[in-house]
Structure 1
Amino acid sequence: MVTKRRMVIGWVAVNLLAGVPLAAAGTGEASSVIYEAEDGLLAGTTVGTASPGYSGSGYVTSFDDAADSLTFTVNVPVKGLYEIRLGYNGPYGDKRTTLAVNGQPAGEIALASTTGFKEIPATKALLNAGSNTIRIDRGWGWFEIDYLKVAPAPAPAPHQITKALVDPQVTPEAKSLMSFLVDTYGSKMLAGQQGYNNVSWLETNVGKKPALVGFDFIEYSPSRVEHGSTSTETEKAIDWDRQGGAVTFAWHWNAPKGLIDEPGKEWWRGFYTDSTTFDIDYAMSHPESEDYKLLLRDIDAIAVQLKKLQDAKVPVLFRPLHEAEGGWFWWGAKGPEPCKALYRLLYERLTGVHNIHNLIWVWNSISPQWYPGDDVVDVVSFDSYPAAGDYSPQVSQYDRLVALSQNRKLIAMTENGSIPDPDLMDIYHTDWSWFCTWEGSFLTDGNTNTLAHLKKVYQHANVLTLDELPNLKTYGGGGGGVVTAPAAPSGLAAAAGDKQAVLSWTASAGAASYTVKRSAASGGPYTTVAAGITGTSYTDTGLTGGTTYYYVVTAANSAGESANSAQVSAVPTSGPAAPAGTLKVQYRAGNTNPADNTIAAHFNIKNTGTTAVKLSDLKLRYYFTKDGSQALQSWVDWAQIGSANVNRTFGTASGTGADTYVELSFTDAAGSIPAGGQSGDIQLRIAKSDWSNFSETGDYSFDGTKIAYGDWNKVMLHLNGSVIWGSAPN
């Protein structure tokens, strides 16, 4: 059992005009009042009577236009937290609507498909004594509102969550992670972010790294691999785990076959129902069919990646078949039964056939009809995308998950746009174990989540970030989430260069920063050269050639500093910079489709010489046609040397297949490439400001056939202003 914490849901504004008491005070039950929808204030909506089973004299429908709404006025005797229940009818599929309470956003309400009028818990709301307004807005989908019921909210029941996982053979690392999540549930929430490339943005703009990063198996789907897709998500996840963070994986599973592949329904949209003819119901009911065997093929392909993670001792919060009840993904297109069967097939094949046991199984639906069963689910979850700037804690969805799991499972917000306000969680009794903000504009547009809100969340006492985590691999549950000092870094290596030494090491779990120390004598005493390093490399410059230098590195977090690492030494040279011919650029197409809205080019710079080369002395140019006058934008989605250490600028070019180039340059913090070494992956992405398509066919530097790294002289590399590799277009 764990301590409760709270959080606020959605926004609700409803003017309920005529209140009918359902239970009088003094009966031993909380007094509740029902407000008939037809008595409310209608804006663009109408009263209907055609659907049978409603209460009162009718219901409100025709939420057609953006401004259409139904507003009630609710009167309560005292200020406090009240439960709002909703009577509605939702034929023809699942719907959603939004609420506002006293003019303030109060969250999104999921309206499951019904065959008649039913009552559901809609939200909880902090109401003032006297008159309050609750508004129901259009949302999306056709629905009919019968009434609202208002009653004092009951006190939350204590959680009944244990640390036992559904897989009896689960790895020690997964047990430790689950133990930590259970111990902190109700008092702390893990900050999460989708996309490893966004970690550096958060560190730069917010000053913190998340505790959890979301990854995706999407590009490992065999039907995408057949089109040339490649991925390094597994390697990125291992790297994040080595830094001490928690890892979660989703799988935008491209359908195994039946990709329509026409404009608007391209092959790479094959996880959407409208872009494939693949029938999950047929496949699951015909285990002898090719379709079923292709499902097994795809699961086996993902098992390869999960096995890599298991071998690296990475526990994974695994969330397959997400958002199924929405129907927009093929795995949910035929209703709950085939989807639940596929989820169980995933569980049984991964654990029973492939012996994958590093997973904490996360189910992503609030509907009881879609729930696959307690025996295959460790965590229940919801993906939350309320209106931009709506920081309410989504009480309705949380309460429905409590009911679904009978308060015996952890509850997580596995995707989100706007991040719930932790202060509101205390008011509304909502305990999300973690959130995971989706990438792109949801994080950076300043509207969905303002920078001030991001800083508030990441610096909140109830929100855990990377620097506040214990060692998640060895956490035993007795520490209650108390941070301990990290272990000393391992794998320290030194490469000598021209009057410099290039150091690199393996990340220590739970470390927030590193300190490099140097001595002129073996064994010390050591003097601090640099502190507060957040990466796992450092270049010590200004050294004397021919002199031996001795180095150690320590790791630190809020709990203290580690012991020294093992010592290494380096003897810098006094030679000139690397001569021409000792550097080369390797390239692969990160996106092989020449006619979509993204250019994705991946690079690796190799040093074949005998002297280390500073990356800050290099500039790399990739040539292309921009196909229009729109402004260009670029990102480095991931780089082994750190995305924040790679700068991008656009320039004008001329020649066959090019009118533009993008130039990559590197900060001093990027370090050096040692003799015989390489930069590692640098993953560049370019798009237009309006996200219109490029036409890369014939572009000078593009080659869609290059799906594996190879030397490529159509990417140019400069060393201190001189061309050292490749050539510009003629």
Structure 2
Amino acid sequence: MIHTRLLILVLSISASHFVMAQSQGPVDAKATKETKALYKNLKKLAKHHTVFGHQHATEYGHGWVGDENRSDVKSVTGSHPGVIGVDLSGFSGRPAADVEKTKTEVRKTVIDTYNRGGIITVAWHFPNPVSTGGFYWKDSVSLPAVKYIIPGGKAHDTYKEILRSIANWANNTRGADGKLVPMIFRPFHEFDGEWFWWGKPHCTREEFISLWQFTVSYLRDSMGVHNFIYAFSPDNKFTTTAEYLERYPGDGWVDLLGMDNYGDMGRDGYNLDQASKKLQIISDYARKNGKLAAFTETGLESLPNPNWWMEVLLKVMHSGNKQLCYVLVWRNDAQSPTHYYAPFPGHNSVPDFIKFYNDPYTLFEKDLGNIYK
């Protein structure tokens, strides 16, 4: 009897450890070794650090386009951002030749980043697949596409074709080592707002969850994409865990939890306590459920506050006991004199950004070591 009880106890402990181990990795059980390593290393570094990221950092910057191995952040600090954001917006809704050109360009950015040891996050400003209007919702022309492209919808086959195109691209994006490049894939971001066609007013909760689950399932299970980490990122319209999780598709479908928050960070005035509390909600849920957490988009356009990096961003990120693996600020437009979110040489926030760069909490590309092993 004693031996039987002991056996049951051992089996019970082993089972609980197995469940815990399963929850500590990506939702794709067949994820590549490099993708699993990235996931594990991001979780580990988040205990004491966060990686700084910048959208389109090496593709273009303030007053330049396409210069090899250049970024505004590197021009200021000597290192590229640790996370580089790219976008799949040009992968559909355009002539085939333009799509292929875009795929080639984005692939080069992704591969170059991986070869240097940086991290890639992939946004998807997805053009409306059933109407004109692009990715924004336009009252006069946009159709609520989600209900049309989910299983059972009349444009479901069109959506599958778009996903096949993304899958073929992902499955043919390999680094110099011959390995598939891991990417943090962040579809349907800011879904709690009204500005995108997949936004909250344009689809039901059930439709959105169906869209998310089908997208992950089709890429992962049908198309064999095993180098994606799936990121869930509403805007900042929540104040409780329940509100944050209103359209959450479930722990089996999400690897990384984040939010996009410009409003609390200076765009609509400074509400730093609220920004911090919202990030804490995300971090706490992620830690409890074996997920990654990140500040997936933020920034202050034109950086009119020269001390924004230390007095706003670092203060919000580093307060409390958050574990956030990265923070990403938005892009520096090549032509606009005012649309930029990271400093460039000569900008008046450079001294503060250098302090941010030198802070032990922040990591940039040259700090990462081998994040894929």
TM-score by length of 1: 0.39
Quote the Cα distance in structure 1 between the aligned partners of 2:324 and 2:256: 11
User: Cα 1:217–1:449, aligned 2, differ >3 Å: closer, same or farther?
Assistant: farther
Residue 308 (structure 1) aligned with residue 169 (structure 2): no
| Aligned ranges 1:619-638 → 2 under 5 Å | none
Q: What letter matches 1:373 in structure 2?
A: G
Are 2:150 and 2:211, in contact at CA under 8 Å, matched by a contact in 1? no
Cα distance 1:355–1:424, how it changes in 2: closer, same or farther (>3 A)? closer
Q: Give 2:292's aligned amino acid.
A: L
Whether 2:25 is the aligned partner of 1:164: answer yes
Looking at CA atoms only, which structure, 1 or 2, has the larger radius of gyration? 1
Specify the code of the residue in structure 2 equivalent to 1:327: E
Partner secondary structure for residue 235 of structure 1: helix
- Matched with 1:320 is 187
Supply the distance in 1 between the matched residues of 2:43 and 2:112 (Cα, whole angstroms). 25
Q: Structure 1: 5+ residue runs without aligned partners?
A: 1-159, 261-269, 475-730
Distance 1:246 1:358 in 2: 12
SS at match of 1:308: coil
Q: 2:220 matched to 1:351? A: yes
Question: C-alpha distance in 2, partners of 1:252/1:340?
Answer: 18
The one-letter code matched in structure 1 to 2:120 is V
CA 1:219–1:462: 2 relative to 1, 3 Å: same
Q: Measured at CA, do residues 228 and 179 of structure 1 come closer, stay the same or move farther in structure 2, by a change above 3 Å?
A: closer
Say whether residues 1:380 and 2:257 are aligned partners: yes
Q: Rate the CA distance shift 1:442–1:164 in 2: closer, same or farther, 3 A.
A: same
> Which of 1 and 2 has higher RCO (CA within 8 Å, sep 6+)?
2
CA offset digits 1:346-395 (Å, max 9, x no partner): 11110111100011111112621110100011110011212159594821
Whole-Å Cα distance in 2 between the matches of residues 449 and 413 of structure 1? Answer: 24
- 1:237 corresponds in structure 2 to 110
Residue 423 of structure 1 and its aligned partner are, at CA, apart by: 5.1
Aligned counterpart, 1:249: 122
CA distance in 2, matches of 1:391, 1:235: 39
> What corresponds to 1:279 in structure 2?
144
- TM alignment of 1:407-486, pairs within 5 A: 407-408=288-289, 409-418=291-300, 420-422=312-314, 425-440=317-332, 441-444=340-343, 450-474=349-373
Q: Counterpart of 2:119 in structure 1: which amino acid?
A: A
Q: Can you list the C-alpha shifts for 1:457-495, whole angstroms capped at 9, x where unaligned?
A: 222111111111121222xxxxxxxxxxxxxxxxxxxxx
Q: Cα–Cα, structure 1 residues 324 and 448, in superposed 2: closer, same or farther, change >3 Å?
A: farther
CA contact (8 A) 2:191 2:198 kept: yes
The match for 1:185 is 46
- Give the secondary-structure state (helix, strand or coil) at the position aligned to 2:167: helix
TM-score by length of 2: 0.74
Contact 2:331 2:342 in 1 (8 A): yes
More helix by share: 2
Kept in 1: contact 2:185–2:228 (CA 8 A): yes
Other structure's SS at 1:322 match:
coil
Q: Distance in 1 between matches of 2:287 and 2:330?
A: 28
- 1:442/1:448 contact within 8 Å kept: no
Which digits, 9 at most, give the CA deviation of each residue in 1:154-186, with x for residues without a partner?
A: xxxxxx996311111010000110111111112
Q: 1:446 to 1:330 in 2, by over 3 A?
A: farther
What is the rounded CA distance, in whole Å, between the counterparts of 1:244 and 1:369 in structure 2?
Answer: 36
Distance 1:228 1:357 in 2: 26
Whether the aligned pair in 2 keeps the contact of 1:238 and 1:312 (CA below 8 Å) is no
Q: Deviations over 1:168-226 (max 9, x none)?
A: 101000011011111111201001111023452111123322111011011112x1236
| In structure 2, C-alpha distance between the alignment counterparts of 1:439 and 1:407, rounded to whole Å | 32
Q: Amino acid of the residue matched to residue 185 of structure 2?
A: F
Structure 1 residues 450 and 401: CA distance shift in structure 2, 3 A: same
| 2-structure distance, mates of 1:448, 1:417 | 15
Q: Aligned residue pairs: how many?
A: 304
Preserved contact between residue 224 and residue 254 of structure 1 (Cα < 8 Å): no
1 CA distance for matches of 2:286 and 2:30? 23
- Compute the displacement of 1:227 (Å): 9.1
Identity of aligned pairs, percent? Answer: 24
Q: Which has the higher strand share?
A: 1
Provide the residue aligned with 1:296 in structure 2: 160
Tell me, in whole angstroms, the C-alpha distance in 1 between the residues paired with 2:313 and 2:285: 24
SS of equivalent residue, structure 1 residue 428:
coil
CA apart distance, 1:452: 2.4
Change (3 A) 1:337 1:448: farther
The 3 A distance-change label for structure 1 pair 433 and 391 is: farther
Partner amino acid, structure 2, of 1:413 = F
SS of 1:362's partner is strand
Q: Secondary structure at the match of 1:273?
A: coil
CA contact (8 A) 1:325 1:335 kept: no
SS at match of 1:473: coil
- 1:208 counterpart (53, 74, 79): 79
CA contact (8 A) 2:123 2:186 kept: yes
State the SS of the aligned residue for 1:397: helix
Per mean C-alpha deviation after superposition, the further-off stretch among 196-205 and 298-307 is 196-205
Query: C-alpha distance in 1, partners of 2:278/2:361?
Result: 21
- Inter-partner Cα distance in structure 1 for 2:318 and 2:327: 16
Structure 2 Cα separation of the partners of residues 368 and 214 of structure 1:
25
Q: Provide the alpha-carbon RMSD of the alignment.
A: 2.8
Letter in 2 for 1:167: D
Equivalent residue runs for 1:706-717 within 5 Å: none
Partner of 1:400: 281
Task: Answer yes or no: is the 8 Å Cα contact 1:271–1:330 preserved in 2.
Answer: yes
Which residue identity lines up with residue 431 of structure 1 in the other structure?
Q
**Aligned equivalent of 1:494:** none
- Alignment partners' CA distance in 2, 1:344 and 1:163: 20
Residue 166 of structure 1 aligns to which amino acid in structure 2?
V
d(CA) in 1 for partners of 2:346, 2:187: 29
**Structure 1 residues 415, 461: CA separation in 2 closer, same or farther (over 3 Å shift)?**
same
Describe the SS at the equivalent of 2:94.
helix
